[in-house]
Structure 1
Amino acid sequence: MKHTKLGLITGLMLSVSAGAAVAKDVSLRVADSLPVGHYIAENLLKPFLADVEKSTDGAVGFDYFPAQQLGKAKDMLSLTQTGVADIGYIGASYLADKLPLSSVAQLPGTFNSACEGTMAYWEIAKPGGVLDQAEYAPEGVRALMALALPPYQLFSAKEISGVDSFQGQKIRTSGGSQALAMTKLGSVPVQMSAPEAREALSRGTVDGIVFPYGSVMPYDLAPHLKTATQGLNLGSFVLAYMISQSKYDSLSPEMQKTLTEAGERATKHACAVIDDMVGSDKQKITDAGVTFVTLPEADVAKIRETLKSVGDEWAADLDGRGRPATEVMKAFMAALQ
């Protein structure tokens, strides 16, 4: 399998060829499902990799496999647990059966920016946090860095004019609380990963998608879209790059400290950059022919009121299945303060 080479990142060249990897004291395999050049990898993962290489004077190197080269989004947790990947991209919604509590940061209306959501999520997801103890540690993994995306909007191949436009539309969601939110608004949620969205739109399998501004262009969705909302808060998507606890334990204390500190820095860096990109991302989508629509104030208020109960319903359902969702939600809300 051909390894992907990382470009020049903050003045550092990360060599990922097989020959270069042999020269490292430790070489870690990193995998995700993001297309090459995706803004999440560019602003979260790659600065982390560069930071670690610099901090260790090249003693730690990386083989990076993007674009589902090692497996699909839903397989990343098992790939990380089994050591096929040392560090894997974990999208909570793609693993709702194993990591249902992680979608707490995807509840609609809870935060207004990537950094607001990211830092609150990181507080409960980092090693020792309530989410880590409830969900990640039992799965044998630990988060190295995380990101919550800015509030999602509805992008549609149809006209959007008001809250009634949601009725009956088949909407791609990442599952969990997003699906519940779309159901409450009268839409038909269709769960799928982001890499599947373009084909689904082009074939008419779905009429629209709930997505962040920044992901529309990387997945080449604009040609299949007509209108989009702005100013709504339809939830988010939360992700983390994780390492198995066994792999982490096999590293020296110095390397563990380096990975942990680099992950903290990358988390803070990524959310700030992504918040700054919102305006330019919207402009690129507009330039590609998609029309942004501001819904009437009465409709926006109706949507907010309709979605207000999503969090409590989400928590009650998981509590009933023996998961401490109410505890996790309270911790997340407290971290947002």
Structure 2
Amino acid sequence: MTVLNGLDRLAAGAALIIAGALAPQVALAETTLKVADTFPPGHYIVETGTKYWMERVTELTDGEVQFQYFGAGQMGSLRDMFSMVQSGVVDIGYVPPAYNGGTMPLAGVHTLPGLFSQSTVGTPAFYDTVTSGPILENDFLKNGMRPLWGVMTSTYNLFTRGKEIDGLEDIDGLKLKIIAGNMSESVKALGGAPVDIPSPETYQAMRTGTVDGAIFPTTSIYSYKLEEVIDTAVLGLDIFVYWAPYVIRDEVWQGLAPEHQEAMKQAAQEAMQRVAEETDRSAAELEDKMRESGIEVIVLDEAQREQVRTATAPVFDAWVSDLEERGMPGGEVLEAFRSNIEKHQKQ
């Protein structure tokens, strides 16, 4: 048996260290995640953000995280997305709080009217609000999921078919497609009759006369082909903004390597910025595009906008009071969101 002296042992140890440093690193196991949404083919959020995010995560993880994408409602309807993520049918899904108010009540703060006008402000402000504090704990983690990334749409305005609109008084009695919750309350405050219909069903509802019009994001009119069924657009109403988020089942998130989680966060920041900038750019161009499509465009003047703000002001108090009566910190969440909006408006 050979006995190593002290110098020999040091040399042998150094050789092992060098050999370990030169050895190829063991790659993390490849992960493939199922992603589902209900956006129609060609929707700008998918084209600008969703596809980019998936490709960027795969790039940042050197191919160790990949995705199977099921768009346009292939895996289920918008109202199915929440349960599909929870049950594991998909790993990542499009789960907007505006359609899940019963289980995500605090996140509904973003649906209050007139908080901001630009996606490049609202998107990062709400991401900051929703990824920490009461909204994260109550609306997401409690439901076994967490927000990955999301974007604020353009503001919602009024689009009608076969109805003459000269001013706000003409909204009175109109059956309008809405999303239940604060948008419904704002429409009621303006005299309209809200009808809760998922966005993918709006075209048919307007074509058949189920509704007289829709409160809809301006930048999504062409994605949903609504220019084919509307004849009047009322811009400047701005009574709602919609947050379109992708969420991941928390069990899946916890099973990811830390470096994969960081890659998703980095890709999320990049995707959100891309979509928010595209949202604001598109919204600025749409007035002329709608006129060229033969749609009558009415732009509210400042006096009419103030009339809208006055009419919808009670919606804030009602939202906060309702939550706090149920033991949830509505006022705290609203204050936090407003603070984050102010921060991003200054940047």
TM-score, scaled to structure 1: 0.89
CA distance in 2, matches of 1:89, 1:238: 10
> Which one of 295, 303, 310 corresponds to residue 300 of structure 2?
295
- Show the counterpart of 1:4: none
Q: Residues 120-176 of structure 1, C-alpha deviation per residue, up to 9 Å, x if partnerless?
A: 1111112x3431123111111111101111211111111221110110001111111
Q: Tell me if the contact between 2:134 and 2:329 (Cα under 8 Å) persists in the aligned partners.
A: no
CA distance in 1, matches of 2:302, 2:35: 45
Note the C-alpha offset of 1:324.
2.2
Distance 1:142 1:222 in 2: 35
Map of 1:78 onto structure 2: 83
The aligned runs of 1:1-20 (5 Å cut-off) are none
- Asked if residue 237 in structure 1 is aligned to residue 242 in structure 2, the reply is yes
Contact 1:80–1:244 (CA<8 Å) still a contact in 2?
yes
Checking the alignment, whether the CA contact within 8 Å between 1:80 and 1:87 is kept in structure 2 is: yes
Match of 2:61 in 1: 56
Verify the 8 A CA contact 1:80 1:88 in the aligned structure 2: yes
CA distance in 1, matches of 2:204, 2:102: 25
Q: 1:144 aligns with which of 148, 151, 169?
A: 148
Where structure 2 has 5 or more consecutive residues not aligned to the other structure, the ranges are 1-28, 343-347
Picking from 112, 120, 140, the partner of 1:115 is: 120
1:132 aligns with 2:169: no
Q: How many correspondences in the alignment?
A: 313
> Secondary structure of 1:256's partner?
helix
SS in 2 for 1:210: strand
SS of residue paired to 1:239: strand
Give the distance between the partners of 1:118 and 1:284, measured in 2 at CA.
25
Q: What does residue range 1-337 of structure 1 map to in structure 2 within 5 Å?
A: 25-126=30-131, 128-157=132-161, 158-337=163-342
Deviations 1:189-228 (A, max 9, x none): 1112100111110111111111111111111111221111
Map Cα deviations across residues 20-43 of structure 1 (whole Å, 9 max, x no partner): xxxx81111000010111011112
> Given that residues 162 and 296 in structure 1 are in contact (C-alpha distance below 8 angstroms), is that contact kept between their aligned partners in structure 2?
no
In structure 2, the residue matched to 1:7 is: none
* d(CA) in 1 for partners of 2:323, 2:198: 22
- Mapped to 2, the partners of 1:75 and 1:230 lie a distance apart of 32
Q: Which amino acid aligns with 1:76?
A: M
Q: Which segments of 5 or more consecutive residues in structure 1 lack a partner in the other structure? A: 1-23
TM-score by length of 2: 0.87
Conserved in 2, the CA contact under 8 Å of 1:38 and 1:218?
Answer: yes
Distance of 1:193 and 1:75 partners within structure 2: 12
Letter in 2 for 1:73: L
Q: CA deviation at 1:297?
A: 4.1
Paired with 1:323 and 1:170, the residues of 2 have a C-alpha distance of: 32
- 8 Å CA contact 1:141–1:243 kept in 2: the answer is yes
CA contact (8 A) 2:104 2:138 kept: no
For residues 60 and 25 of structure 1, what CA distance do their matches in structure 2 show?
6
Specify the SS of the correspondent of 1:229.
strand
Q: How far is the alpha carbon of 1:232 from its aligned partner?
A: 2.5
CA distance in 1, matches of 2:327, 2:207: 40
Identity %: 34
Over the residues paired in the alignment, what is the CA RMSD in angstroms? 1.5
Q: Hey, what does 2:24 align to over in structure 1?
A: none
* TM superposition shift of 1:294: 2.2
* TM-aligned CA deviation for residue 296 of structure 1: 4.8
The DSSP-based 3-state class of the residue aligned with 2:95 is: strand
Residue range with higher mean Cα deviation, 32-41 or 130-139: 130-139
* 1:263 CA displacement: 1.3
Q: Which moved more, 1:110-119 or 1:130-139?
A: 130-139
